[in-house]
Structure 1
Amino acid sequence: MFPALSIEINTSLDDFDNLHPEGSDLVIVPAIHNAENKTIIHWIQNQYERGATIVGICDGVWTLGYAGLLKNKHATGHWYSKEKLSNVFSDTIWIRNKRYVQDKNIITTTGVTASIPVSLALVESIAGTKKAKEMATELGVTHWDAHHNSEGFYLDWQQYITAAKNLIFFWNYERIGISMYEGMDEISLALVADAYSRTYRSKTVAITNGNRPVLTKSGIKFVSEMEEGEKIQIHSQIEIPKQKKAFDQLVHTLVEIEKKFGRTTKRFVATQIEFPID
């Protein structure tokens, strides 16, 4: 997720190793600011050696590459990074037009929205098609195959100009509050916060009751970035309905971004997350 909301971490890699000395079954690697972090790379390598399946989401593929896990493997990555990836990891076979690629126990994906179909594919492989369909229905997704049109994602001159204007004209920057509540769906939350944070015109802020931490449906603890008693200007506030499915919430968010910031900004966001729009 693009830098947006803040979470509280209650455990560490060492804690995990102490609890599960046999290693993990599955390791999800998101995009990491320092993809060459030696501690993380060493831990991933150890999990891989113990038989874990390693999944690199979006630019998480960089960390897999630096860990040496992509050598002579088929892989994919975010469209914007493909050329650099192929130059740095020339011994990897880079695949286009696939949202996710599996080569034995290494899985890589394109942009961050590919995390949904690849997750459903993993569920299907573990628990069967029926369970995957049930989860797809909950998310509002109709299919999770790997088909993808990589060629359709690029930044045109309009998007470059819009991104520059949005970044430079800081006085138009908006702070958007997201109302947080106990048990909220973190997938919808992540998609909304990520999309708004990619406009270069806005930042999302967690709005909680009394600035207290909030536990989501799966037990992730989100914390308010505001100190107790602190008041900051919120230009608009978003409510994420419990009944709205995550995929539908993303589509709705892109529509709202277009209303607020214009169609080119909407396209700019969709291009970053590799999400096809009309």
Structure 2
Amino acid sequence: MSKSIFVRVGLALIVLSLAGFGGWMFSLPSATAAKEAPPVPQEETAAMLTALKPAVRERPLVAIIGINDATETTDYLMPTGILRRADVADVVMLATGPGPVQLYPALNVEPDATIAQFDAALPDGADYVIVPAMSRDDDPAALAWLKSQAEKGARIIGICAGAKVVGAAGLLDDKRATTHWYYLVEMLKRSPTIEYVPDRRMVSDGSVTTTTGITASMPMMLTLIEAIAGRAKAEAVANDLGLAKWNARHASGAFKLTRPFATTVLANRMAFWNREEFGIRLEPGMDEVSLALVADAWSRTYRSSAATFAVAPDAVETRNGIRVIPDQSGRNWPEDRQVPTFSDRKPAEALDRALEAITARYGKSTTSVVAMQLEYPRQETVR
């Protein structure tokens, strides 16, 4: 697996264009299927909640694993921020090795512990292990640890392309699953016994759950909260996030590689002289979910990237205890090159505002590219 869709798609399209395969682009569909997400039967929802209920501890322990050199930003931070604000479980952010976790496409954070430290302190393992997308699927330490946690009885939740990591660990063999639209073919090629389930943002089979693209971690965490602490608690957290509803509904046909997507990525990538870097000011107590979503979105335009800055080089602690290391310190960022995280808005609204700002700067086609990478169903009333 490459660093991210951001790099992988862009480079692939440039290579194809320079190699004279421009006709390939015209073979792509001109639009995604205009399809409404089908309803999810109530019994299917109930079965997922049952599968996700904690089996051992009254207050569950959730471990979120990342590799140090590149773990997907929102996959790693959003589950942590949402579960900690719910306060229904103990949540630890882990890394395969010592030192910070460089997230992709933006942000750098200090984990709570390494997997070795976690194992030494908690030999019985976690109740839940959340697996984000990573820069590669074959990290030996990550795969061995996932297998050991599964053997100890942990429920495994693969977020986005983290499903490929779960599959590489052999934990999806002969199971029903989903993943980010761009990596679906690759996942099924590497793990051919997986039964792909379309039109679902999350799929549970036994002790393993997988989701579609990046923004699916929000309804996934709300579903987990409901399984642990009940519907009322999940609704309270959803309101805090700015979500009126959440469920497993998903229109898979709305997410695929299209001609407009490919041409926009190629045009933005080729215009390297117009690339911009925007600064995000780190403030103690800021909302980490909004921070992750905004930084992720601005770093997926193929025209811009997001970096963080603070007065001092020390890590800045967010609302729910995530320690973010600033990319730059000791100087202010130019005002015209700063982007807000919309501290006066709820996280779901902050993402919408960021996408509106991207549209104003780069146009609707670039915003569509960002939303497609995030697998964000902007046209649906249910996020």
Aligned pairs for 1:30-109 within 5 A: 30-109=132-211
1:90 shift after superposition: 1.0
Which residue of structure 1 lines up, in the alignment, with residue 227 of structure 2?
A: 125
Which residue of structure 1 lines up, in the alignment, with residue 85 of structure 2?
A: none
Which residue of structure 1 lines up, in the alignment, with residue 369 of structure 2?
A: 268
CA distance in 2, matches of 1:5, 1:172: 22
1:160 shift after superposition: 0.9
Structure 2: stretches of 5+ with no match in the other structure: 1-72, 74-103
Which residue of structure 2 lines up, in the alignment, with residue 161 of structure 1?
A: 263
Q: 1:225 aligns with which of 327, 332, 352?
A: 327
Structure 1 range deviating more: 145-154 or 1-10: 1-10
Per the alignment, in what secondary structure is the counterpart of residue 161 of structure 1?
helix
CA RMSD of aligned residues (A): 1.6
CA distance in 1, matches of 2:113, 2:331: 29
Kindly indicate whether residue 304 of structure 2 is the aligned counterpart of residue 202 of structure 1: yes
Q: Is the 8 A contact 2:277 2:306 kept in 1?
A: yes
* Aligned AA (1:126): I
1:106 shift after superposition: 0.2
- TM-score normalized by structure 1? 0.95
Structure 1 range deviating more: 23-32 or 150-159: 150-159
Q: Is the 8 A contact 2:311 2:331 kept in 1?
A: no
1:214 shift after superposition: 0.6
- Displaced runs of 4+ in structure 1, greater than 3 A? 228-235
Number of matched residues? 277
Which residue of structure 1 lines up, in the alignment, with residue 286 of structure 2?
A: 184
CA distance in 2, matches of 1:232, 1:216: 20
Identity %: 38
Per the alignment, in what secondary structure is the counterpart of residue 209 of structure 2?
strand
- TM-score normalized by structure 2? 0.70
CA distance in 2, matches of 1:244, 1:230: 27
CA distance in 2, matches of 1:101, 1:134: 24
1:239 shift after superposition: 2.4
Which residue of structure 2 lines up, in the alignment, with residue 12 of structure 1?
A: 114
CA distance in 2, matches of 1:62, 1:270: 21
Q: 2:246 aligns with which of 144, 147, 156?
A: 144
CA-to-aligned-CA distance 1:20-77 (integer Å, 9 cap, x gap) = 1110011110001021101000001111111101100000011101100001111000
* Aligned AA (2:360): K
